[in-house]
Amino acid sequence: MKLRSQYDGEILKLAVPALGALAAEPMYILVDTAIVGHLGRPQLAALAIAATVLTGLFGVFNFLQYGTTAQVGRASGAGEGRIANRLGAQSLWLSLGFGLAIAAVVVGLAPQIVELMGGEGDTAEYAITYMRIAALGLPFAFLALGGQGYLRGVADLKTPLVILIAANVVNLILEVLFVYGFGWGIEGSAWSTVVAQAGMGAAFIVVILRAARGDTRPSRVLMRRLLVIGRHIFVRTFALLSAFTLAGAVIARFGDASLAAHQIAFQLWIFLAFVLDAIAIAGQVIVGRGLGAGDTERAYAASVRMIWLSVYAGLFFGAVMLALEGVLPYAFTSDETVVERAQAIWFLFALMQPLNGAVFALDGILIGAGDGRYLMWSMVAAFAASASVALAALAFDWGIVGVWSALVVLIVVRLALMLWRFRGRRWLVTGWA
């Protein structure tokens, strides 16, 4: 790879603020965890249940963001600024609809959901209370998904970063005030998040309504366009989350030590994924706009550059993780059995980082190209391969190493299928219509 490229400036201009926004997104739960953790064990356990459900639902519906970015970017690149702005408004309508529906489901079925997650006694009561209050913020959080998708599509990543940082600051201040100042306990934690998300959603509405210049009426044609690619990304995301859910379920059957070790490695994996995904966000924008403008050579060349940048970032992270093998697990636990289990999968975890870099970059590139159908089927195939190995690990007692080998298979199959698609160039479809 060349030391410098003509595309580096644009990539960094998009990737750096994207990294900040990606890092800000999980801060709500981290702040809630830090403050609720001092209220007691039942409250913290309740938050763990509620956070798992709410973040899972939020993640599955990220197609509202990714699909919007791809379509708005393509329209902008094609010089269809009016359509791009109207797509932003359509994304808000869709996001609001899905957000209201999911909020209603969570409020109505909170007891059943908590029971399914294994909550009992005081923990269950706290979890139901938190989920029902926090669900009121989901419509606003979903509006933020659609809003970010539009702003990314028009290459404005600074505005979402500012809004997200402001919302997190408000959440922190209100959290301390409601929980400790007013003595509302875990209910105060939930209400602070709702208020912060309401402000965040309102900010995105204002920004997009200004861009739309009053042309906000619903359009079935444009909504359908967003939903077509959106449904493919929905299935792709569901299959990805299913692979990790299955991995956790299998590892739980190998004992607490293996499950604790998996939690350490998986949380580090998620953190590094957020960092590497910043280049994927740049890929969505650059490719969408490039293909919309009809410039296939630029879209392809910039994509190659982003893949290599992401791979080298992954190599760096993998090397750091290997160097910290004897130290980093102790930052999470002092249990020697857990540390031993974590170190048993550490090489696999580190090996995945450069592979992840390539996969995330290719994922962003193909999303930007609107190649959702291929992404969907390639992820389903990767899930099937990974699930086969994970279930074999359970059947033949291969332990946590066998399950993490299944996750490596997930990434390798995704990489092979997406790289084949990328090199074939059939995704280089130009224009808006």
Rounded Cα distance, 95 and 118, in Å: 30
User: pTM for the full model?
Assistant: 0.83
- Which amino acid belongs to residue 309? L
The reply to whether 226 falls in a domain is no
Cα 250-106-375 angle, rounded to 5 deg: 55
Q: Are residues 190 and 252 in the same domain?
A: no
Q: Is residue 365 situated within a structural domain?
A: yes
Q: Is 149 helix (H, G, I), strand (E, B) or coil?
A: helix
Q: Kindly state whether residues 112 and 145 are assigned to the same domain.
A: yes
The reply to whether 223 falls in a domain is: no
Dihedral sign, CA of 419, 424, 426, 429? positive
Q: Is the pLDDT of residue 1 over 60?
A: no
Please, what is the average pLDDT of the chain?
Answer: 88
Locate 48 and state its tokens: 């763990």
Q: Are residues 203 and 250 in the same domain?
A: no
Q: Which candidate, 146, 158, 155, 137, places its Cα nearest to that of 205?
A: 146
pLDDT of residue 98: 93
| Per-residue pLDDT, 138 | 92
% pLDDT > 90, the chain: 45
Residue 242 lies in a domain: yes
Residues 175 and 305 in one domain: no
Same domain, 144 and 29: yes
- Cα 165 to Cα 11, 20, 280: the distances in Å are 22, 9, 21
**Residue that is written with structure tokens 């790289």 in the block:** 419
Instruction: Confirm whether 317 is domain-assigned.
Output: yes
* Range 397-404 average pLDDT: 94
Query: Same domain, yes or no, for 32 and 113?
Result: yes
First to last CA, the chain: 35
What is the DSSP track for 380-391?
Answer: HHHHHHHHHHHH
Q: Which of 127-136, 145-154, 413-422 has the highest mean pLDDT?
A: 413-422
Confidence (pLDDT) at 350: 93
For a pLDDT cut of 70, what percent of the chain falls above it?
Answer: 96
pLDDT of 96 reads 93
Position 220 scores a pLDDT of: 86
If one compares 112 and 212, the residue with the highest pLDDT of the two is 112
Same domain, 181 and 147: yes
- Of the candidates 403, 385, 386, the one whose C-alpha atom is nearest the C-alpha of residue 394 is 403
| Residue 225 within a domain | no
In angstroms, the CA 239 to CA 225 distance is 22
Residue that terminates a domain, selected from 194, 218, 242: 218
Same domain, 206 and 277: no
Give the end of a domain, one of 153, 185, 218.
218
Per DSSP, the three-state class of 145 is helix
- Same-domain pairing of 195 and 247: no
How many domains are there within the chain?
2
Q: What pLDDT shows up at residue 137?
A: 93
Q: Please identify, among 150, 184, 218, the residue that sits at the C-terminal boundary of a domain.
A: 218
Confirm whether 432 is domain-assigned: yes
Residues 238 and 188 in one domain: no
CA angle 377, 381, 384 (to 5 degrees): 140
- Stretch among 273-277, 340-344, 400-404 having the lowest mean pLDDT: 273-277
What is the per-residue pLDDT across 177-235, written as a single tens digit (0 to 9) for each?
Answer: 998 888 898 899 899 999 999 999 999 999 888 887 767 888 888 888 888 878 898 89
Q: What sign has the CA pseudo-torsion 235, 236, 240, 241? A: negative
Are 55 and 145 contacting, i.e. CB atoms less than 8 angstroms apart?
no
Are 239 and 123 part of one and the same domain?
no
Residue 256 scores a pLDDT above 90: no
Looking at the structure, do residues 333 and 423 belong to the same domain, yes or no?
yes
Q: What digits encode the pLDDT tens for the residues 9-54?
A: 888 888 888 887 777 766 667 677 677 767 776 787 777 778 778 8
State the residue range of the domain holding 430: 232-433
pLDDT tens digits for range 48-76: 778 778 877 887 888 888 888 888 888 88
Phi, psi (5° rounding) for residue 254? -100, 5
pLDDT tens digits, residue range 275-292?
A: 888 899 999 989 998 999
pLDDT band at 115, cuts 50/70/90? confident
**Residue 284 lies inside a defined structural domain of this protein:** yes
